[in-house]
Amino acid sequence: MLRYTASVLQNHYFLIFKHFFSEAYVTCLFHEDCMLPCSFTPTGAVVIHWYKQQIPVHSYYYNKDQYGLQNKHFNGRTCLFNSQIAHGNASLLLKRIKVQDKGRYKCYTSTRKRNQETFVNLGVKALIQSVRIEMTGEVVSCSSQNIYPAPQVAWNTDPASGPETLQNSTIKTPDSKGLYTVESTVRILGNVSDHAYFCSVISADKAQVWTVSLRQQVELIGEAGQELSIPCIAPQNLQNFSLTWTFTRTNDPTVILSYDSRTRRTSNLWEGRAGLEQDQVLMGNGSLLLHNPENQEHSGTYTCTFTGLQSRHMVQTQVNITVTPIGRCTFIKLICIWMNKKKAVELASRPRVGLEHMCQTHSTEG
C-alpha cells in the first residue's frame, strides 16, 4: 500500500554551472510504503544513484536496476518507477518503512547535458492507534504502544485538581523496532468515586491527541423486580460515537448492549431486560435501564463505554440487586408448597405455631 503522508515542504534551487541541487522533506508512516521524490530533465540515457548519506540504496544504469552495491538494510525494499524514467521521474519507492530509515537521502542523476542532486529528508512516524486506561488498587494507569517518536502524556480530573496533587509517573520504552510503549500512572485522590480521571497521549508533533477517561461510581443498590437506572453521561459533546454496555459477574465481561449514533441502531442482547432512553442517548446520556432485575443474575459490574474519534470514555458501576424479605405467612406458604403439602393457604392463617407442626397438621388433614 502506497501512502504519501506528507508532501515536499520547501524547495531551494542553486545553479552552479550545470550542477543542480534541491532539498525536500517527506514524512513516512511506519511499515507502509513511501515515495521519495526526485526528477530530472531527460536527455537520453541516464544514471541514477540513491544514497542514504554514503550508504548505497538503489542504482540504475544501462537501462536497468543494479543491486550489486545495495546495502543489505534495503534489500527487497526499493524500486524505481521504471516506466516513467524516460519522462524524468527518478523517484524511489521505499517499502515497509522502518524507524531506521529516517535520515537524509541523496538522489544523483547524470545525463549527457548535466548532473543533478536532490536531497530528501525522510522522517518516520508511527501513529497512535489506541490508548488503554484502567484502575488497579490505589492507582489509575494509562498506556499505549507502537508509537514513534515517543509521545507525551497529560493527566487531569473532573472535578479539576491541581497539578501538585495529580502527579504522574511516566515511562517510555523503545522496542527492538524502535517503537515506543508509554505507561503512565497517577494515584487515586480521596475516595475512588470522587473523580473521573482523564489521560491524553499526545504525538511528538502534536498532530494527534488521544484522550481516554475512567470514572468509577458509587455502588448502586437495587431491589429485585424494581426498575433501576445505571447512570452514564458522556464527559463532552461527542460526534459520531458508539456506546457499549458490558456486564461482568465473574471474570469475563459480556457485551449486553451497543448503540451507533451514526445509524441510530441498537443491538440488545438483554432485550426486555435492559434498554436506553432513545431520546436522551444522542445528547450523551447513555444511562441503562434495568427492567425487573433478579438478585444473582443481574448483580455485578456494569461498564459503559463511549467511543469517538481518538477518544474513549468509560464509567464503571458495581450493582447489587437485593431481595425484599417476605412475610411469615408468605414464607410458610412457599415452604409448605415446596414440601408438597395441600391446603397451604389455609394453614398460613392459623395461630402462630411451629412451621414443621403446621405442615405436619396439614398432612394429617389432607
Weakest mean pLDDT among 211-220, 278-287, 350-359:
350-359
Q: Do domains 127-210 and 217-324 have the same CATH topology?
A: yes
Instruction: Measure Cα distances from 307 to 155, 196, 211 in Å.
Output: 19, 16, 10
Q: What is the pLDDT of residues 140-175, one digit of tens each?
A: 999 999 999 999 999 999 999 987 889 999 999 999
**Contact call for residues 159 and 196 (beta carbons, < 8 A):** no
Percentage of the chain modeled with pLDDT above 70: 83
Domain 14-125 has CATH 2.60.40.10: yes
Please state which architecture CATH assigns to domain 217-324: Sandwich (2.60)
pLDDT of residue 344: 44
Q: Output phi, psi for 246, to 5 deg.
A: -120, 155
- Look up cell 522502518; give the residue: 98
The residue with greater pLDDT, 4 or 342, is 342
| CA 357/CA 366 separation, integer angstroms | 14
Average pLDDT score, the chain? 86
Band (pLDDT 50/70/90 cuts) for residue 206 is: very high
Q: Output phi, psi for 344, to 5 deg.
A: -65, -30
Domain 127-210 has CATH 3.40.50.10420: no
Q: Is 215 helix (H, G, I), strand (E, B) or coil?
A: strand
**Domain range list for the chain:** 14-125, 127-210, 217-324, 328-365
The b/e string for 128-154 (b: 16+ C-beta within 10 A; e otherwise) is beebebebeeeebbbbbbbbbbebebe
**Contact call for residues 347 and 356 (beta carbons, < 8 A):** no
CB neighbours (10 Å) of residue 173?
11
Among 70, 77, 80, residue whose Cα is nearest residue 94: 77
Among 85, 80, 92, residue whose Cα is nearest residue 37: 92
